[in-house]
C-alpha cells in the first residue's frame, strides 16, 4: 500500500460510521446508506489525486455519498413514472435494533424536501455549524437558517402527529 491508500484507510477508519449515520438520516435505509458510503470511499480510492487535494476529506466523501443518493432517487422516480404499478410506499429500514423514536425521526426527515433534509441532517446529525453548512452547500447563511427553521416546524408537525396517533 502506498501513502494515498493509507490516507484513504485513515479517513475510512475515522469517518465511515459517522457518514453512514448521516446517510441513514438522509435516506432512511441503513443498507442503502452503507452502500453509498462504501461507493464514496471507492470513488476516493479511484480518484486519489482529487481526494488528496480536498481540504476536508469527510465533506468530500459526504458530497459524493449525497450525489450517489440523489442519482438513485432520480432513477427511482424515473422508474416510478415509467412503471407506475411498481410504486412502493416509503420503507424505512434502520435495522432490527433501531429504537422506535429513531424510526420516527428518520420518517419525519423523509417528509422534508431534499434541500431542507440535507441541511437538517448536516446541522443535527453531522453537528456542522451554519457557516460550515453554508460553505459545504454553497448557499447563503440566511438560506441555511431558513431551511433549519422550516425543518424544525415541519418535523415538529410530523412528530406530534405520530405521537398523537400512538396515544389513540
Q: What is the DSSP string of 112-157?
A: S-HHHHHHHIIIIIS---HHHHHHHHT--HHHHHHHHHHHHHHHHH
What share of residues in the chain are helix, strand, coil (percent, to 5)? Answer: 80, 0, 20
Domain boundaries in the chain?
A: 1-96, 99-168
The domain defined by 99-168 folds into Arc Repressor Mutant, subunit A (1.10.10)
Which residue positions in the chain have pLDDT lower than 50? 85-89, 168
Residue 93, strand partner residues: 29
**pLDDT value for 11:** 93
Answer for the pair 43, 19: CB distance below 8 angstroms, yes or no. no
Residue 29, strand partner residues: 93
**pLDDT value for 19:** 95
Q: Is the dihedral of CA 40, 67, 73, 147 positive or negative?
A: positive
CA-closest candidate to residue 65, choices 135, 12, 108: 12
Amino acid at each position: 500500500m502506498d501513502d494515498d491508500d493509507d490516507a484513504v484507510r485513515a479517513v475510512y477508519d475515522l469517518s465511515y460510521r459517522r457518514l453512514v449515520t448521516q446517510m441513514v438520516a438522509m435516506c432512511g435505509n441503513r443498507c442503502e446508506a452503507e452502500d453509498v458510503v462504501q461507493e464514496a470511499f471507492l470513488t476516493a480510492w479511484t480518484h486519489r489525486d482529487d481526494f488528496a487535494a480536498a481540504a476536508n476529506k469527510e465533506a468530500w466523501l459526504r458530497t459524493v455519498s449525497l450525489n450517489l443518493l440523489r442519482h438513485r432517487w432520480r432513477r427511482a422516480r424515473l422508474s416510478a413514472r415509467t412503471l407506475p404499478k411498481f410504486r412502493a410506499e416509503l420503507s424505512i429500514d434502520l435495522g432490527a435494533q433501531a429504537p422506535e423514536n429513531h424510526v420516527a425521526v428518520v420518517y419525519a426527515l423523509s417528509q422534508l424536501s431534499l434541500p431542507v433534509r440535507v441541511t437538517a441532517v448536516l446541522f443535527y446529525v453531522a453537528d456542522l455549524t451554519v457557516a460550515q453548512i453554508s460553505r459545504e452547500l454553497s448557499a447563503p447563511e440566511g438560506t441555511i437558517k431558513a431551511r433549519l427553521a422550516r425543518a424544525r416546524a415541519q418535523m415538529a408537525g410530523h412528530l406530534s402527529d405520530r405521537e398523537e396517533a400512538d396515544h389513540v
